[in-house]
């Protein structure tokens, strides 16, 4: 009976992915908790978006938690995102990893020729997976041998499409969580029927056409649990819930002079009525925010506002980076940081800046992200909260009736 | 009425999970827009026809409202002496009107090393997620709260 190894091949961390919330040590603690519940995860591969730091070393952490921690990278190509395992100096020298449209055939060929292997990530997802590019543009998948068919961030329909493609084209398949947050780690993973401790072990196994490995769900790693069948792209009628756009070749233009410059955007007087209205809109019934007598006896010695209320303070628009891209803007993320309670009678001033502008590709195709940070200070000059909003500019088409 | 049971640091373990269900309707969204000022000129939050014109299947829930639902989940759980330090969320798919949402939080780390900001409390790290009835997780993120220690 050969050794088996359960690895999550696609994990993002706060060390290198701007949209991740999980730290590497957080993932390791989570694995320890999962093992205590009888689930099997032997390790994972950190695959940051468009970034590979050759000097980063997780060996001490890996040893501390008795877990395999390897490193690859997720790059962006003209057929979607691609995981690269066995990243060599030659590979890094050839490609600008920050590009959002690397030529896929060159990436797959170079990875192979330099001793590594490339794997098509979340293959069934719109835009950023290869299935749609095969269906819509007749891409031949030159040099593609393995795709990630079971992805923890994709729905069953998307994963089913990836399995269908793999079967039609004779591709090998792996599973991975694509986790950005700790609790998602291992949701999907790959069982290898051999012992894998190093990146060389992993690459050799994925390159070996006779090696035995298969995607699976974490829940199915418990003893005695029967593995679920793979999802089907035909059996599910679910469609993507998001509006999909088209890729654009426009150059990104924006006003770089506003980056990092903080300006006063307004002053807001907090009232009991405002707090009550905010609570009513959210069915928020916590008496710390709504009941004068209860709150007076509580830790804040009076009513305070729910933490999120700063986002409802109407102030002037923040500085405008004047991004010239796309025909639509959506909110992609929010970071709230809370320092002190906000009370009725407070006067809150907002100071806003454009923190950064960057681009990447997602389900909606190419997107430009603008991160704006607003700091909120009370009448005593104390910072009570800060908020960052990430807005994504993208190109969309109208939805058919 | 929110459960005001106090949560203590010592009683929390990695893997603990708590949740609430929400179903934001047009009425909820309109109320949120009215109080928050969060709105859009293209009708994406309230108008089905105009939402379709910008590529959406249905009107969607404003991102700050989704974030507020997760904040409420956490504040209801932690109790009166708890404090939210941060909430960091990514909007990965639209939250549509009338979606049946499971707001879920999972304890991913308990930081017992020293007092959090010298207050005698401990930091608890959470993954927070909105899950819809289609099996999607349109909003995912993390939160950090501080909880008091038992005396």
pLDDT of B128 reads 96
Distance from CA of A23 to the nearest CA of B (A): 10
> The domain spanning residue A390 has which CATH number?
3.10.129.10
Distance CA A363, CA B133 (A): 20
Residues A59 and A148 in one domain: yes
Tell me, yes or no, whether A284 lies in a domain.
no
Residues A78 and A154 in one domain: yes
Helix (H) or strand (E) holding A20: none
Out of A299, A312, A314, the one facing B81 most closely (by C-beta) is: A299
pLDDT-derived band of residue A9, with 50, 70 and 90 as boundaries? very high
Q: Which two tokens stand for residue B5?
A: 């049971």
* Direct distance between the N- and C-terminal alpha carbons of chain B, in angstroms, rounded to an integer: 27
Helix (H) or strand (E) holding B63: helix B63-78
Q: Does A336 contact B at CB distance below 8 Å? A: yes
The mean pLDDT value for A328-343 works out to 89
Q: Which two tokens stand for residue B27?
A: 């009425």
Count the helices and strands in chain A (H runs, E runs): 10, 14
Residue A65 has pLDDT above 60, yes or no: yes
The mean pLDDT value for A151-165 works out to 90
Tell me, yes or no, whether B3 lies in a domain.
no
Distance CA B110, CA B15 (A): 10
Counted domains in chain A: 2
Residues A131 and A204 in one domain: yes
Residue B102 has pLDDT above 90, yes or no: yes
pLDDT of B115 reads 53
Residue A132 has pLDDT above 50, yes or no: yes
Domain of residue B29, residue span: 12-148
The mean pLDDT value for B110-122 works out to 66
Are A21 and B88 an interchain contact pair (Cβ–Cβ within 8 Å)?
A: yes
Residues A216 and A262 in one domain: no
Residues A176 and A74 in one domain: yes
Residues A325 and A217 in one domain: no
Tell me, yes or no, whether A207 lies in a domain.
yes
Distance CA A351, CA A50 (A): 32
Per residue in A222-232, pLDDT (tens digit) is 777 777 777 87
Tell me, yes or no, whether A400 lies in a domain.
no
Residues A75 and A157 in one domain: yes
Out of B37, B65, B71, the one facing A307 most closely (by C-beta) is: B71
Are A306 and B96 an interchain contact pair (Cβ–Cβ within 8 Å)?
A: no
Tell me, yes or no, whether B6 lies in a domain.
no
pLDDT of A265 reads 92
Domain of residue A339, residue span: 256-268+306-394
Q: Does A318 contact B at CB distance below 8 Å? A: no
Tell me, yes or no, whether B5 lies in a domain.
no
Query: What residues are paired with B141 via a beta bridge?
Result: B89, B128
Q: What strands, in cross-sheet order, belong to the sheet with A172-176?
A: A172-176, A146-151, A117-120, A80-85, A68-77, A43-49, A5-11, A188-192, A213-217
Per residue in A256-297, pLDDT (tens digit) is 888 888 899 999 899 999 899 888 877 778 888 989 998 998
Q: What are the start-end ranges of the E strands in A68-227?
A: 68-77, 80-85, 117-120, 146-151, 172-176, 188-192, 213-217
Dihedral of the CA atoms A90, A96, A97, A100 (nearest 10)?
A: -140
pLDDT-derived band of residue B116, with 50, 70 and 90 as boundaries? low
Counted domains in chain B: 1
Side-chain-side CA neighbours of B113 within 13 Å: the count stands at: 2
Out of B88, B91, B108, the one facing A332 most closely (by C-beta) is: B91
Residue B97 has pLDDT above 90, yes or no: yes
Residues A312 and A213 in one domain: no
Residue A375 has pLDDT above 80, yes or no: yes
Higher pLDDT, A233 or A237: A233
Which of A19, A21, A23, A391 is the best substitution to test chain B (most B C-beta atoms within 10 A)? A21
| DSSP secondary structure code for residue A219 in this structure | G
Residues A214 and A260 in one domain: no
Tell me, yes or no, whether B2 lies in a domain.
no
Residue B101 has pLDDT above 80, yes or no: yes
Residue A329 has pLDDT above 60, yes or no: yes
pLDDT of A204 reads 98
pLDDT of A240 reads 34
- Global pTM reads 0.76
pLDDT of A360 reads 79
Tell me, yes or no, whether B44 lies in a domain.
yes
Distance from CA of A105 to the nearest CA of B (A): 28
pLDDT-derived band of residue B139, with 50, 70 and 90 as boundaries? very high
pLDDT-derived band of residue A239, with 50, 70 and 90 as boundaries? very low
Residues A193 and A315 in one domain: no
Distance CA A265, CA A255 (A): 19
Residue A237 has pLDDT above 70, yes or no: no
> The domain spanning residue B129 has which CATH number?
3.10.129.10
């Amino acid at each position: 009976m050969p050794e088996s190894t359960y690895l999550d091949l696609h994990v993002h961390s706060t060390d290198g992915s701007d949209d991740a919330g999980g730290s590497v040590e957080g993932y390791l603690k989570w694995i320890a908790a999962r093992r205590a519940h009888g689930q099997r995860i032997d390790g994972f591969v950190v695959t940051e978006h468009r970034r590979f730091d050759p000097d980063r070393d997780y060996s001490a952490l890996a040893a501390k938690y008795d877990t395999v921690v390897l490193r690859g990278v997720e790059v962006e190509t003209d057929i979607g995102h691609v995981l690269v395992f066995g990243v060599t100096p030659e590979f890094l020298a050839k490609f600008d990893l920050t590009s959002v449209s690397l030529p896929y055939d060159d990436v797959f060929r170079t990875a192979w020729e330099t001793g590594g292997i490339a794997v098509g990530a979340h293959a069934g997802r719109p835009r950023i997976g290869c299935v749609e590019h095969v269906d819509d543009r007749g891409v031949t998948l030159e040099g593609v041998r393995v795709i990630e068919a079971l992805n923890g961030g994709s729905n069953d329909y998307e994963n089913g499409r990836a399995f269908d493609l793999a079967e039609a084209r004779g591709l090998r398949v792996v599973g991975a969580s694509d986790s950005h947050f700790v609790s998602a780690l291992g949701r999907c993973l790959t069982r290898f029927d051999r012992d894998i401790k190093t990146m060389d072990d992993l690459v050799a196994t994925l390159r070996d056409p006779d090696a035995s490995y298969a995607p699976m769900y974490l829940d199915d790693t418990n003893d005695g649990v029967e593995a679920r069948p793979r999802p089907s792209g035909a059996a599910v009628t679910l469609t993507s819930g998001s509006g999909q756009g088209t890729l654009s070749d426009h150059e990104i233009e924006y006003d770089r002079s506003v980056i990092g410059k903080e300006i006063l955007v307004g002053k807001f007087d907090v009232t009991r009525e405002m707090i009550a209205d905010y609570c009513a809109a959210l069915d928020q019934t916590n008496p710390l925010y709504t009941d004068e007598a209860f709150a007076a006896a509580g830790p804040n010695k009076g009513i305070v506002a729910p933490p999120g209320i700063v986002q409802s303070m109407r102030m002037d628009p923040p500085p405008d980076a004047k991004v010239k891209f796309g025909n639509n803007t959506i909110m992609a993320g929010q970071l709230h940081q809370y320092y002190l309670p906000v009370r009725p009678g407070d006067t809150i001033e907002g100071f806003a800046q454009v923190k950064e502008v960057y681009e990447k590709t997602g389900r909606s195709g190419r997107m430009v992200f603008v991160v704006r940070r607003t700091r909120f200070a009370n009448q005593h000059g104390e910072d009570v909260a800060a908020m960052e909003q990430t807005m994504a500019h993208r190109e969309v088409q109208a939805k058919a009736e | 009425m929110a459960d005001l049971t106090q949560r203590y640091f010592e009683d929390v373990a990695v893997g603990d999970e708590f949740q609430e269900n929400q179903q934001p309707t047009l009425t909820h969204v309109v109320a949120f827009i009215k109080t928050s000022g969060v709105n859009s000129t293209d009708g994406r939050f309230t108008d089905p026809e105009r939402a379709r014109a910008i590529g959406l299947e249905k009107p969607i829930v404003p991102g700050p409202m989704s974030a507020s639902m997760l904040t409420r989940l956490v504040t209801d759980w932690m109790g009166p002496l708890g404090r939210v330090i941060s909430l960091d969320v990514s909007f990965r798919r639209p939250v549509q009107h009338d979606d049946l949402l499971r707001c879920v939080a999972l304890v991913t780390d308990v930081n017992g090393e020293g007092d959090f900001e010298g207050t005698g409390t401990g930091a608890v790290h959470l993954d927070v997620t909105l899950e819809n009835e289609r099996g999607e997780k349109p909003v995912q993120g993390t939160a950090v709260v501080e909880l008091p220690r038992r005396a």
